[in-house]
Chains A and B, each alone.
Chain A
C-alpha cells in the first residue's frame, strides 16, 4: 500500500522540491501552508508521516506536534520536524513534544528520503 505523506510548510520554493521528491519516491503526497490547515488536513487525509516546518503562520510546528500527540487516534502518525533554526534547545523541545525525527535546513534530499523511509520502517532504498 502506498504510504501517505503530508508536507506542511509555508515556503513554496521548498514545497515544490519536497513534493516532487516524495512523489518520485512513490509516496502519495498532500501539501498545506500553515498549522491550522495542517490539523484539518491530517484528519481528512490521514497521512502516515508529516513533514512539519516549525516557523509557520497561525500555528507553529510545535503546537501542531503537541496536538497530534494529544490525540490517541493519531498515535501512529510519524512526525519529522523541519526547521531553519539550528539551536539545540529547539531540537530538544521538538523531541520532547513527540517528534520522531528532526531535520535542520539546509538538508540533503537523499538523507531526508532515507530518514523518511527509516521512520516509516521501510527499506532504505525503494
Chain B
C-alpha cells in the first residue's frame, strides 16, 4: 500500500475514533429508554446537534493536523532520504544528506552520510589501486612491445587455439620469406589469425604434448624445439615455450590452482640456409673421413704388400707404386677442395632433443593405437634410457613402418621393445609373421613417407640418417618373430629436473595480459557471437564498370582487418589486378587507375586465392556488399574459390540504424557518424572508411539491442535495400 493510501486510511480511523464512541453510546441509551424518555432526549439533542458536529469537526481537524505533521516528518522524510541515498549510490556520489526533520531522522541521516563517506573512501582507494595496476601493466606492455620490436629474433605468441596474439617485426619479415609470390605476408601473419596456416597442426599438437608432459614431470621452464618445412619449401626452426596460466583444478576439494598452459611463445628461425650448409658440411666431413679411409687403405695395402713381399717383379712393383702415387695425389686434391668449400659452411645442426626413451615408446604406442587401431603391447622397456632424437620425425618414421606393415601383412598386434647395448639403444618393432625381402625394406627406406593425411618429403632413410642411426629387419624362425630394429645412439647427459616449487605469487610470468588468451572461439556458432567480439575483414574493390554480368572486372582490392574492436591499418591488403580488358574513360575518371597501372599486374586467378587466405576465419564487411560479392561470385567457377563466410553490409546496417535518412552513401554516413574521409576511391581508402563507419555502427546497433552477428544479419535482411540485386 503506498504512503498516500495509508494516510487516508489513518484519517478514516481517526474519524471513527472521534465520532464512534458518542454515536454508539447514544444508540445504546436510546434503545434502553422508554419511548417518551427517548423523545425527550431527541428533542433535547436535535437543536444542539450543530454544536456537536462542530466540536467533532474541530477534533477531527486537530487530529488531521497532528497526523499530517507526523506523516510529513517521518514518512515523507524517509522517502526523501531514500531518494537522496539512491542518488549518492548512483549519479552523484558527492551528494550528502542535509540533516533535517525530527531528531531520529537527523540521526539516521548522519549515519547514512558516514556510511557514504566510508564507501567513497574505499572506492577511491580501490580506484587508485586499479589505476596504479593499469599504469604498470601499460608500462610493461610498452616495454614488451619495444623489446619485441627491437628483437632480431622472430617472436610470435599464440593462445591454445593457435590464434596469434602478438608478433614482432622480424616475425613479419620472416613470414614474408615463407610465402611464395603475391599476396604478401599479411595473409599469413596477423592478430587473431591461425598459426596453423604456417605450421602443421599435428606438429604443434605433438610439441604441446611434449611441453605438457615436461610440465607435469615438474620441469619449471620447459621448452621444446623442432624443425618444419613451410609450404614454400623453407625450413624453419621453431623454439616453443609455454605461457603458463593458472588453471583451477576441477574437482579438487580445496580448489587448488595448478599452472597450466594457456598459450605459447614461438621463436622462429629460418634455417633453410644453415641446413643446406650443414648438409654440405656433413658431406665434407664424410668426404674427409670416409674418403680418406678408403684412400689410406689403398695406400697402406700397397705399401705393406711391397714391404712384405720384397720379391715382387718389376711390373708388379710398378703397379703398386703407381697406386701409391695416384692415391696420394687424389688425397691432396681432396683436401684442397674441402678447404675451399669449408670456408663458407656455417655451424648449424638439425636439433636433436634429449628424451627419455620410455616416453618416446609411450608416445609411439599412443599414436599407433589411435591412428591404426592396432593393439600395441610393451615388451621390455629400459626406463632409464635417454636418447637424442627429433621425436616428431622419429615417431612419424615408426608410424610409417607400422602403416606399411599394416597394409602389406594386415598385422593386428605389435610389440615395442627398448633395450640398451653399450652406447646404442635398440628400439624394436616386433610382430609375428612372414619375412620381408631386402628389396621391400630398401624400397620402404627410400621412398618419401606417406601416411594417411600426412606427407613429408623425408624418407625413412633420411630420418635414421639424421639420428645417426641404422635400421634393419630380422626374423627369428624358431619363434616366428619378426622385428625391425632401430638403432639410436644413447645420450649420457640427463635432464636435471628441478624440484617442483610451490606456486607463489611471483612465479607468474611477467607479461601476461593479453585479452585474447581468454578467447576460445572454436565451439561457438558465429551467429551467437557478439558483434564486438568478431574478427572482420573490411574490403572494397574498384572495378572497370558497374555491370559484373556484362564483363566488368575488379581492378583493385583493398582490405583491412578489425580485431577485438580495433581497425588494424598495418594489416592491410592492397593490390591492383590486371582486368585483361581495356578500361573506359568514365571509370578511369572515378578511380584514377589508368590502363598502364594495371598492365602487368597479377590476374584474378592469382590474387583471389591470396585474398581468400587474407579473409580466412573472418566475417566480411563491405559497403554495398552485394555489388562486390557479385563480382567475387562470378569468379567462383574460374578459380574454384568460394567466399562462404557471413557478409555484413554497412549500407544495410546504416539503414537499420537511421531508417529515416534518405541517403546511405558512404560519404554521407561517414559525415553523419563523424568519420574523416581519406583517399576516397582507392579501394584501401574506402575500406578504411567503411571499417571506421562499421565500428561506429556496431555501437549504435548495440544501443538498439542488436548485439550478435545473427541479430545484425536478420535486421539487415529486413531493410528495404536488401532487395536490390545486381
Contact = CB atoms under 8 A, between A and B. Distances in A.
Contacts of B297: 14, 84, 105-107
A109 to B, nearest CB: 4
Contacts of A84: 290-291, 293-294, 297
A89 B242 CA distance: 36
Contact of A106 (B293, B474, B485, B487): B293
Given A96-B485, A105-B296, A109-B304, A67 B438 contact: yes
B140 interface: no
B15 interface: no
B293 A87 contact: no
B405 interface: no
B549 interface: no
Interface stretch (B267-275, B319-327, B498-506, B609-617): B319-327
Contact of B487 (A21, A92, A104, A107): A92
A93 B487 contact: yes
A13 B293 contact: no
Of listed A13, A55, A66, A85, residue having the most chain B CB within 10 A: A13
A66 B471 CA distance: 13
B424 A92 contact: yes
Given A90-B470, A92-B470, A105-B296, A24 B309 contact: yes
A24 B306 CA distance: 12
A97 interface: yes
Contacts of A21: 301, 305
Interface string A98-110: 0000001111111
A18 interface: yes
B298 A20 contact: no
Contacts of B700: none
B231 interface: no
A75 interface: no
A63 interface: yes
A118 interface: no
Of listed B294, B302, B422, residue having the most chain A CB within 10 A: B294
A97 to B, nearest CB: 6
Of listed A20, A55, A93, A97, residue having the most chain B CB within 10 A: A20
Contact of A89 (B291, B305, B319, B489): B489
Contacts of B319: 16
Given A14-B298, A104-B293, A88 B438 contact: no
Contacts of B299: 106
A21 B308 CA distance: 9
Interface in A13-38: 13-14, 16-18, 20-21, 24
A16 B234 CA distance: 47
Contacts of A107: 297, 300-301
Say whether chain B's binding surface is mostly helix, strand, loop, or mixed.
helix
A46 interface: no
Given A21-B305, A106-B300, A108-B304, A86 B293 contact: yes
Contacts of A18: 301
Interface string B419-462: 00111100000000000001000100000000000000000000
Of listed B442, B472, B474, residue having the most chain A CB within 10 A: B472
Interface string B225-248: 000000000000000000000000
Nearest to B308: A109
A14 B470 contact: no
B112 to A, nearest CB: 87
Contacts of B302: 13, 16-17
B468 interface: yes
A109 B301 CA distance: 6
Given A92-B424, A96-B472, A110-B308, A11 B438 contact: no
Contacts of B424: 88-89, 92
Contacts of B421: 92
B479 interface: no
B298 A13 contact: yes
Contact of A108 (B300, B309, B423, B487): B300
A108 B300 CA distance: 7
Of listed A17, A84, A85, A109, residue having the most chain B CB within 10 A: A17
Nearest to A111: B304
B316 interface: yes
A90 B291 CA distance: 16
A97 B323 CA distance: 33
Contacts of B485: 96
Contacts of B301: 14, 17-18, 21, 106-107, 109
A63 B442 CA distance: 9
Interface in B392-440: 421-424, 438
Nearest to A82: B297
B469 interface: yes
A105 B294 contact: yes
B489 A11 contact: no
Contacts of A63: 438, 442
A90 B302 CA distance: 26
A66 B326 contact: no
Given A17-B305, A88-B422, A105-B296, 6 more contacts: A11-B294, A17-B298, A86-B293, A96-B485, A106-B297, A109-B308
Interface of B: 289-291, 293-294, 296-302, 304-305, 308-309, 316, 319-320, 323, 326-327, 421-424, 438, 442, 468-470, 472, 474, 485, 487, 489
Interface of A: 11, 13-14, 16-18, 20-21, 24, 55, 62-63, 66-67, 84-90, 92-93, 96-97, 104-110
20 contacts: A13-B327, A17-B302, A17-B320, A17-B323, A20-B316, A21-B305, A67-B438, A84-B294, A84-B297, A87-B468, A89-B470, A93-B472, A97-B474, A104-B293, A105-B297, A106-B299, A106-B300, A106-B301, A109-B304, A109-B305
Top 10 A-B pairs ranked by shortest CB distance? A17-B301, A105-B297, A106-B297, A106-B296, A84-B293, A13-B298, A109-B304, A84-B294, A89-B470, A84-B290
